[in-house]
Structure 1
Amino acid sequence: MAPRPVPRNKTSAAVVDYILEQIFEGRFRSGDRIDLGEVCEDLDVSRLPVREAIVMLERDGIVTSTYHRGVFVEPFDAKSIIDDFEIIGLLSGVAVRRLAEEQDREVITRLEGLVDELRAGPPNDRDRVVELVRTILTTEHRAGGSRRLRAELRAFTGYLPLVFRISSNRSHADTVDAHARVVRAIAAGDGEKAARYRVDDFRDAGRRVVEELERRGVLSDEA
């Protein structure tokens, strides 16, 4: 598949999405050197957003930048992906637990509406599903998270939606149910149950993503 051009008004976040997509599709493999000049040319962007994207990816352990040698893809293995999902599930669990304890009815009503919208949406409209899931998570994290927690969760905002988008082995019904039960627990004021559901959901999603990437032959043999 040919690289997808990125409009000029996109920022470094779009470059991050592009590089991650190359990794998830198997075009950038573990240990490969990323030619930043080619990335600029493929996306028709300047060096600045590309350099910013590399800083973000290095922070998340996706690439390593070495002076005078270049940028290289870190080992991309099942254990790393499972850890990513485990970590964000635990962090997100803290936010939904606090949200359940605080019982902000305005936020809860908004979340219930978003879940209804997710349930009613076309199951095959993957981009819309990802957009709604991102909005649900962002709403929960902003309302239930502290400054520190929100900062930690933002590190995953570019990574996870793209991973969910490329993973095709999770049904629309499963996605709806996963978010609906968290929101029901929040509305009922059961923070422990909301947190447990969120962790379980992300663990399951991580396993599904690993299965999909193994099917594609993308993952490194290194553990």
Structure 2
Amino acid sequence: MRQIPRSQEPELRGAAATDGADGLPGQNLSRLTSGEQVRLYLRRLIFDGVLRQGQRVPQDAVARALGVSRIPVREALIALEREGWITIIAHRGAFVNALDASSVHDHYELYGLFYGFAVRRAVERQGAELGERLAPLQKELAAAGDPEALQELSARFHRLIVEAAQSPRLRNMLKQMTGIVPGNFFELVPGVQAVEKRGTAAIVRAVRKADAQTAEREYVAMLRAQGDLVVELFRGRGMFERPDAEAAPASP
């Protein structure tokens, strides 16, 4: 995929094809298919306000901007509809869905439930020894000031817990979830670095005591607090507002 020719596609100006997974384990862009990269790019357009709620997705313009055929664009739209970002209306096009605070809160509540379950299972199966493995990583995370380093350390922390849970079913379910903030989570969301550092420290303290229930509660609390910050960010960016003139036609 080539760089976006901004002069040729003014309607897409201001977007960047980058991705993150809210500080949680994600995929490497270099390993993604064209359709997956288009999906991430479209999510960034929505995040940057280039595509607003109710607007039709300009499929031909996206294909030209990224130097791909319409096939990966259609693949991306199907995936985004499954994720709830857009609605495809036959013979009319794809339209950006309304995003509300409740859906963002639900996203992080689900993350909390999944990762809370993971840490509970991990402690039940590995005991306090897991805390000794997590502690050095959490210490590095606490000292990190660079968002790139923090994102990498955070992903390693969460991945270690998921691996320690030894639950293929859980791993498969987590693969179905995608980050709601495209880009570096710790760079884009004000206040989230402090939440991550406090939360992971509390999780490690509980794990070192082999206290699975407290570790689970701390995970849920950390991700709920992160969700609150993302809601605040999205509200400030006007992402919960639908321009009346651009409202999508109602589904039949």
TM-score > 0.5, shorter chain as reference: yes
Alignment partners' CA distance in 1, 2:16 and 2:164: 35
Matches within 5 A, 1:158-169: 158-159=179-180, 162=183, 164-165=185-186, 167-169=188-190
1:34 aligns with 2:46: no
Structure 1 residue 83, shift from structure 2 partner: 0.8
CA separation of 1:9/1:152 partners in 2, compared to 1, >3 Å: closer, same or farther? Answer: closer
Residues 1:96 and 2:108 are matched in the alignment? no
CA distance in 1, matches of 2:221, 2:238: 26
Out of 52, 58, 67, the residue aligned to residue 75 of structure 2 is: 52
Q: Distance in 2 between matches of 1:13 and 1:218?
A: 23
Query: When the two structures are aligned, how many residues end up with a matched partner?
Result: 220
| Contact persistence 1:13–1:158 (CA under 8 A) | no
C-alpha separation in 2, matches of 1:100 and 1:72: 44
Distance of 1:110 and 1:54 partners within structure 2? 41
- Specify whether residues 24 and 144 from structure 1 end up closer, same or farther in structure 2 by C-alpha distance, changes over 3 A only: same
Distance of aligned partners of 1:172 and 1:17 in 2 relative to their CA distance in 1, 3 Å threshold? same
- Percent of residue pairs identical: 36
Which of residues 165, 172, 177 in structure 2 aligns to 1:151? 172
Q: For 1:150 and 1:8, locate their aligned partners in 2 and report how far apart those are by CA, in whole Å.
A: 21
CA contact (8 A) 2:87 2:97 kept: yes
Q: Is the 8 A contact 1:100 1:185 kept in 2?
A: no
Are the structure 2 counterparts of residues 34 and 94 from structure 1 closer, same or farther at C-alpha, using a change threshold of 3 Å? Answer: same
Matched, 1:62 2:85: yes
User: Which structure 1 segments of 5+ residues have no match?
Assistant: none
Q: Contact (CA 8 Å) 1:8, 1:44: kept in 2 or not?
A: no
* Mean Cα deviation higher: 201-210 or 146-155: 146-155
Q: Which amino acid aligns with 1:201?
A: M
Structure 1 residue 18 and structure 2 residue 41: aligned? Answer: yes
The Cα RMSD (Å) is 2.8
Q: Which one of 213, 223, 228 corresponds to residue 192 of structure 1?
A: 213
In structure 2, the gaps of 5 or more residues are: 1-12, 19-28, 243-252
Counterpart amino acid of residue 84 in structure 2: G
Q: Cα deviations across residues 122-173 of structure 1 (Å, max 9, x unaligned)?
A: x2x2233223222322232233162222222122244357483464321533
Offset of residue 115 of structure 1: 1.6
- Give the aligned partner of residue 177 of structure 1: 198
Query: Structure 1 residues 105-114 or 85-94, which shifts more?
Result: 105-114
Deviates further, 160-169 or 69-78: 160-169
The Cα shift of 1:53 comes to: 2.6
The answer to whether the Cα contact below 8 Å between 1:90 and 1:199 also exists between their aligned partners in 2 is yes
Using structure 1 for the length normalisation, give the TM-score.
0.83
Q: Distance in 2 between matches of 1:173 and 1:80?
A: 24
